[in-house]
């Protein structure tokens, strides 16, 4: 019975699929060359035009009836009107795809992705992306340009804020989770949103951390570090991929046939859309690859870019180029087919306005449930970096609390970059959160003191004076929302403006001082910051910032976040990351002629994976199920984690692996597992991680994935510097049958 039902379902599904394909094929036979190329164009409407009040009349000079997609237009009413214009005003009535950068929430704003990565909780990332999709789709959006899965090891690059940090293993887990979250149950569910893995590839490796700059990587680093999160996103079913603005070893990514077609399409089997970045097809001219917009169209299309965002080279030149044979008709049809299929899957041919429903929009935006998830995500994203003398958590019954720093009241900053559909007035600022949390008898005084975007020092004296009279000082310091993000590279990574001087003045009062950092990248923390007894990294936490920060400050929540990226001591150390190589002269710190610096320690200020709690955790030595195994076998690594403090808390248990000897050099350790555990005071739990060939594998000299016989050291602990270790041996070498992301074509 069950089997017959299954067969019937399969038959119906394949009938539906073939009906969809028939419609797409039929449309293709009816379309002119210009109409086909139109489908490959996305109109980039400036954000200033994207508000709900937009008048469609304003758009008459835009050829919206001749394009396949529109960027930056949202709102149920607004998208409906524009869709009507297109469906009714075009010959074949092909609906538009509405695309928007839903990066960390739509109207309910969640922590920036780097913050969310500090929670090390893929399921949380999935849930957050789900809510973002529910809100955005209710506002007419079909397609987001997220997740950004670029590995970033250079905090000068302002876009570190948009990704999951420095590690491909954590990054891959979060990339896949976010893709699943945006997708949900998939169409016909109205809250299913197409996602985009971007920016393919090595955008985070921009030289000098300067945005859009060239990347020049070894093939090994590309395959081992930068490609895996994209592969994970493709495996998770991401519907689109966006090439990066940068060139890679001399080949701009928008003309990179080897990677876009050879690797992504042919080797990985990606069947979705490749959408250019904003104007990036045209940018092949300044990059020195093309003489004219006509050349750019041919180069990008033949490399494998299906749809062009913003610049109009495709619309203008592809029809002639197909006519003259410079671009193949077959490839053109394939690209158009991918666009039409996406529209068909979303159900837009049958119901073009199905995503534009005002009632659904009203009911879906900023609901109490969404805000509750934003608060949970924000709480879990906070990293406690320092807590000397257990200054935190604070009692709620303090006499006078002084809150200092303009960021404390900066609602825009709570949203961080890439949150244009978010409204600052929906956000709880840090000051509001503190005011809300303390007892009725506590006096909360606020003074701006200094601000990240002004050199002005005039507020410092008053702040210092007020600090003298306060029981506790909370200094909210860091960056404004637009000091990180796209084109926000910084060469200096200290506190901008006069904030460090403010801090020095506050330290002079010797009052209990807590520094709450708000920023989009690991800052280089000055001696003054390091002198503060308590330090909370809160990144940009979104709509519920103030509540979440206060929850942690006053102990309603025990912080559990761990850094997804290393904090350097000095800009000169960058790039600095835990998975470095040993070198022939490892820095042991006791001799000259080591791989170190003479002026600054070589180690980070705070390592990858680091984060404190209001309780403490102890780890047993790792216990192995075997110490000798064949390459096809697995080994269980068991560890007991005990809460040795007075409060319940969550610990993110991390497992790292080192291949001790191999035919190519290996990083000193690589993250290979992580798990979050909740432990009551005194409670202990045994955790087991299973390691197998995927974990032992490496790419050999010819980039063939192999397991090589020899010893491995496994480390288990609370951050990437743990020395809690054990060793096992793999007794034979073997080539792997599954190629993995980095294998050669």
List residues near ligand BGC by CB under 6 A.
101, 145, 198, 277-278, 486
Our CA dihedral for 396, 400, 405, 406, rounded to 10 degrees, sits at 90
- Whose structure tokens read 């290393």? 566
Report the C-alpha gap between 543 and 180 in whole angstroms: 23
Minimum CB distance to ligand BGC smaller for 169 or for 245: 245
Report the C-alpha gap between 162 and 539 in whole angstroms: 11
- Shortest distance in whole angstroms from residue 217 CB to ligand BGC: 19
Report the C-alpha gap between 683 and 717 in whole angstroms: 17
- Shortest distance in whole angstroms from residue 212 CB to ligand BGC: 9
Minimum CB distance to ligand BGC smaller for 98 or for 554: 98
Tell whether omega for the bond before 393 is within 30 degrees of 0, i.e. cis: yes
Minimum CB distance to ligand BGC smaller for 355 or for 420: 420
Minimum CB distance to ligand BGC smaller for 489 or for 509: 489
Query: Are the C-beta atoms of residues 141 and 102 closer than 8 Å to each other?
Result: yes
Minimum CB distance to ligand BGC smaller for 118 or for 276: 276
- Shortest distance in whole angstroms from residue 418 CB to ligand BGC: 8
- Shortest distance in whole angstroms from residue 475 CB to ligand BGC: 33
Report the C-alpha gap between 257 and 268 in whole angstroms: 14
What 3-state class would DSSP assign to 232? helix
Report the C-alpha gap between 31 and 307 in whole angstroms: 17
Report the C-alpha gap between 577 and 192 in whole angstroms: 36
Q: How many CB atoms lie within 10 A of CB 569?
A: 18
- Shortest distance in whole angstroms from residue 247 CB to ligand BGC: 15
Query: Are the C-beta atoms of residues 463 and 449 closer than 8 Å to each other?
Result: yes
**Known catalytic residue at 277:** yes
What string of DSSP letters covers 516-528? EEE-SS-----HH
- Shortest distance in whole angstroms from residue 240 CB to ligand BGC: 10
129 sits in which H/E element: helix 122-138
- Shortest distance in whole angstroms from residue 278 CB to ligand BGC: 4
Query: Are the C-beta atoms of residues 474 and 516 closer than 8 Å to each other?
Result: yes
Length of the chain measured in residues: 745
Query: Are the C-beta atoms of residues 383 and 561 closer than 8 Å to each other?
Result: yes
Name the DSSP letter for residue 478: E
Report the C-alpha gap between 39 and 95 in whole angstroms: 10
Nearest residue relative to ligand BGC (C-beta)? 145
- End-to-end CA, the chain: 45
Radius of gyration of the chain (CA): 27
Using the Cα atoms of residue 523, residue 528, residue 529 and residue 531 in order, give the sign of their dihedral: positive
Strands of the sheet with 705-707, listed across from one edge: 698-699, 705-707, 734-735
Name the DSSP letter for residue 610: -
Which residue in 154, 211, 277, 357 is the catalytic one? 277
Minimum CB distance to ligand BGC smaller for 243 or for 433: 243
Minimum CB distance to ligand BGC smaller for 64 or for 536: 64
Minimum CB distance to ligand BGC smaller for 109 or for 385: 109
Name the DSSP letter for residue 225: I
Minimum CB distance to ligand BGC smaller for 101 or for 544: 101
Minimum CB distance to ligand BGC smaller for 113 or for 607: 113
Report the C-alpha gap between 536 and 393 in whole angstroms: 11
Report the C-alpha gap between 577 and 571 in whole angstroms: 13
What string of DSSP letters covers 78-127? HHHHHHHHHHHHSSS-PPPEEEE--SSBSSSBPPPHHHHHTT--HHHHHH
Inter-CA distances, 6 with 2, 12, 187, 513, 709, Å: 6, 10, 20, 64, 45
What residues act catalytically?
277
């Amino acid at each position: 019975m069950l089997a017959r039902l299954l067969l019937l379902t399969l038959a119906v599904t394949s009938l539906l699929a073939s009906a969809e394909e028939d419609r797409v094929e039929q449309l293709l036979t009816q379309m002119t060359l210009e109409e086909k190329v139109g489908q490959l164009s996305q109109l980039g409407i400036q954000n200033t035009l994207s508000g709900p009040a937009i008048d469609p009349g304003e758009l008459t000079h835009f050829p919206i009836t001749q394009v396949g997609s529109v960027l930056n237009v949202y709102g149920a009413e607004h998208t409906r009107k524009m869709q009507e214009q297109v469906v009714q005003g075009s010959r074949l009535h092909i609906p538009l795809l509405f695309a928007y950068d839903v990066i960390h929430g739509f109207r309910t704003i969640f922590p920036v992705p780097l913050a969310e990565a500090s929670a090390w909780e893929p399921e949380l990332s999935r849930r957050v992306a789900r809510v973002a999709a529910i809100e955005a789709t209710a506002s007419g959006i079909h397609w987001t340009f997220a997740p950004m899965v670029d590995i970033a090891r250079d905090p000068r690059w302002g876009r570190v804020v948009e990704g999951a940090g420095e590690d491909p293993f954590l990054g891959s887990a979060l990339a896949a989770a976010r893709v699943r979250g945006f997708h949900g149950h998939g169409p016909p569910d109205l809250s299913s949103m197409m996602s985009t893995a971007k920016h393919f590839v090595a955008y985070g490796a921009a030289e000098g951390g300067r945005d859009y700059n060239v990347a020049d990587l070894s093939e090994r680093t590309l395959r081992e570090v930068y490609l895996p999160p994209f592969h994970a996103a493709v495996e998770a079913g991401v519907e689109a991929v966006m090439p990066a603005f940068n060139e890679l070893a001399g080949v701009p990514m928008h003309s990179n046939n080897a990677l876009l077609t050879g690797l992504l399409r042919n080797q990985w089997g990606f069947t979705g859309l490749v959408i250019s970045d904003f104007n990036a097809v045209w940018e092949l001219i300044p990059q020195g690859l093309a003489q004219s917009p006509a050349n750019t169209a041919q180069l990008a299309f033949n490399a494998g870019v299906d749809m062009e965002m913003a610049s109009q080279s495709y619309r203008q030149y592809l029809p002639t180029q197909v006519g003259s044979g410079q671009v193949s008709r077959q490839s053109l049809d394939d690209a158009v087919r991918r666009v039409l299929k996406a529209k068909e899957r979303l159900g837009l041919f049958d119901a073009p306005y199905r995503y534009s429903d005002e009632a659904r929009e009203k009911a879906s935006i900023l609901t109490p449930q969404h805000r509750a998830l934003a608060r949970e995500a924000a709480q879990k994203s906070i990293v406690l970096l320092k807590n000397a003398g257990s200054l935190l958590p604070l009692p709620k019954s303090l006499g006078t609390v002084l809150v200092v720093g303009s960021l404390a009241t900066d609602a825009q900053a709570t949203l961080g970059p890439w949150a244009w559909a978010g409204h600052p007035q929906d956000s709880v600022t840090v000051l509001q959160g503190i005011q809300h949390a303390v007892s009725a008898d506590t006096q909360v005084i606020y003074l701006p003191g200094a601000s990240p975007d002004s050199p002005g020092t005039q507020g410092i004296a008053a702040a210092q004076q007020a600090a003298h009279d306060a029981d506790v000082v909370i200094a909210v310091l860091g960056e404004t929302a637009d000091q990180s993000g796209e084109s926000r590279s910084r060469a200096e990574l200290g506190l901008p403006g006069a904030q460090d001087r403010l801090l020095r003045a506050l330290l002079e009062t010797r009052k209990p001082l807590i520094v709450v950092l708000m920023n989009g990248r690991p800052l280089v923390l000055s001696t003054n910051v390091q002198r503060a007894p308590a330090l909370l990294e809160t990144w940009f936490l979104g709509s519920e910032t103030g509540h979440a920060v206060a929850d942690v400050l006053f102990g309603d929540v025990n912080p559990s976040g761990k850094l997804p990226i290393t904090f350097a001591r000095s800009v000169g150390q960058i790039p600095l990351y835990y998975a470095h190589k040993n070198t022939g002269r490892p820095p042991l710190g006791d001799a000259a002629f080591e791989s170190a610096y003479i002026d600054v320690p070589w180690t980070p200020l705070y390592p990858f994976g680091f984060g404190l709690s209001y309780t403490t955790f102890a780890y047993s030595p790792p216990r192995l199920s075997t110490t000798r195994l064949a390459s096809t076998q697995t080994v269980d690594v068991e560890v007991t984690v005990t809460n040795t403090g007075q409060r319940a808390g969550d610990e993110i248990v991390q497992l790292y692996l080192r291949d001790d000897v191999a035919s190519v050099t290996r990083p000193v350790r690589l993250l290979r597992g992580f798990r979050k555990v909740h432990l009551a005071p005194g409670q202990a739990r045994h955790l087991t991680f299973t390691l197998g060939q995927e974990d032992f594998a490496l790419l050999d000299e010819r980039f063939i994935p192999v397991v090589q016989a020899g010893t491995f050291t496994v480390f288990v602990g609370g951050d990437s510097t743990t020395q809690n270790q054990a060793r096992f041996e793999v007794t034979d070498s073997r080539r792997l049958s599954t190629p993995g992301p980095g294998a050669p074509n």
